[in-house]
Amino acid sequence: MDIVTLELFDVTVSEAIRETARALDQHPGLPLRILLGGDGMVRHNVVRLLERSGHAAQPQPEGAHWRIDIAGLPGAAQLPAPAAMRPLAPTAPAVDAPPQGLSQPACRPLLLTRSRLGSGTPVGQDAGRRLLLGVLDNLDPAVPWLGLALEGLELLEDDQALALLERLRARGVRVRISRDSQLFPSEWGERFELLEDSHWQRLAGRGELTII
């Protein structure tokens, strides 16, 4: 059986996600070998994508690099596969595009740029925080992802908000953190998925993103 080998060296997180999704889509059922560089964030996001796609993914170190082997399915078509798939030239990230043949999800992604609704006195600020947490508590599971940017990152320092974000993630809503909104690397960059700002900016420009 042919093995598709995908080399992901010196790529961004969004490029790695896009190329991995493309390999899974173009070669369904065939064994897949992914070779990664030393970037832990790239490796973490590729593993998460594979696991969400129903594949057991266990990275194995190979010197300064990493290897992930995905087993093929019995009876998979013997399609000719290249020895290695090179990343394409950068295009609009396809990580949030619906699978071919499916319509766009009815719910748009949500980006929070603030940690509370409204402003004013401390009493009003407390009420604004509670109201915003109410939005999170009632978020539809069909929302493809929730992003935090600018002041929205302050929610990560609130125990109640953090518990809500963890529950959303457990329900299948991806929680993503704006890369450019972080002044310096933090534990949250490892705990949650990084969001490339150019991606949400394109969605906002097309009216396909809800921003609070």
Same domain, 47 and 125: no
Same domain, 134 and 197: yes
Rounded to 10°, the helix 122-137/159-170 angle is: 10
Domain count, the chain: 2
Residue 99: inside a domain: no
List, as one string, the DSSP characters of 14-75: HHHHHHHHHHHHHSTTS-EEEEE-S-HHHHHHHHHHHHHTT-----EEETTEEEEEEPPPTT
Q: pLDDT tens digits, the chain, 212 residues: what are they?
A: 578 899 998 888 878 888 888 888 888 878 999 999 888 888 888 888 888 888 888 899 988 899 999 987 665 544 444 444 444 444 444 444 444 444 444 589 999 999 998 865 555 678 888 999 999 999 888 899 999 999 999 898 888 999 999 888 888 889 999 988 886 655 565 678 889 999 999 999 999 999 99
Same domain, 114 and 189: yes
Same domain, 130 and 190: yes
Residue 154: inside a domain: yes
Residue 196: inside a domain: yes
Domain end call among 45, 70, 95 = 70
pLDDT for residue 83 = 41
Residue 41: inside a domain: yes
pLDDT for residue 121 = 57
Residue 50: inside a domain: yes
Residue 142: inside a domain: yes
Residue 46: inside a domain: yes
Domain end call among 70, 98, 128 = 70
* CATH code of the domain covering residue 56: 3.30.110.140
Domain that holds residue 127: 110-211
